[in-house]
Structure 1
């Protein structure tokens, strides 16, 4: 791996509707949890309760993720507004070293 060096710069990261994506995933995890609750006894009889609790954990982690991406989105907007106030266009991040 020491002989390998990048020949070109890394592409810009893809940005999309991150908050909406995380919110949708969180809703799906909670929906799966709620759908499985009536069958709690069936899962318990077969020693498969981890399915139910995995969905609950996915929903809770989705709430944490939603809080995180909303804060990240707000920070990116604040940064872009600060650059616009200075009259500087937002550009790519720090340049990668060239070999």
Structure 2
């Protein structure tokens, strides 16, 4: 196995893959919202176990996810991908 190839031996770089970051951000945000609901349902048990901070962590995760969704959407619109049809 060789670690270095000359420029003549290299294959051309592949085209960048198109990815939709919205799906990943939405999935993570939904996960944090589910965790928040679970924390609210089991609030008394979490407080008695000294884990009340998990509610704050779930709120923070959901908020960051919503901000991330806005950022991903803005980036998508600026790059002009929103006008192209999706290939789902």
2:46 corresponding residue in structure 1: 43
Q: What whole-Å deviation, never above 9, does each CA across 1:1-45 have from its counterpart, x for those lacking one?
A: xxxxxxx9xx87654110111011111100111022111011111
1:67 corresponding residue in structure 2: 70
CA RMSD, Structure 1 to Structure 2 (Å): 2.6
- Structure number with greater CO (CA < 8 Å, separation at least 6) is 1
1:25 corresponding residue in structure 2: 28
Counting matched residue pairs gives 73
TM-score, length basis structure 2: 0.68
TM-score, length basis structure 1: 0.61
Structure 2 counterpart of 1:53, from 45, 52, 56: 56
Q: What whole-Å deviation, never above 9, does each CA across 1:28-67 have from its counterpart, x for those lacking one?
A: 1001110221110111112111112111110011000000
Cα distance between partner residues in 2 of 1:20 and 1:65: 11
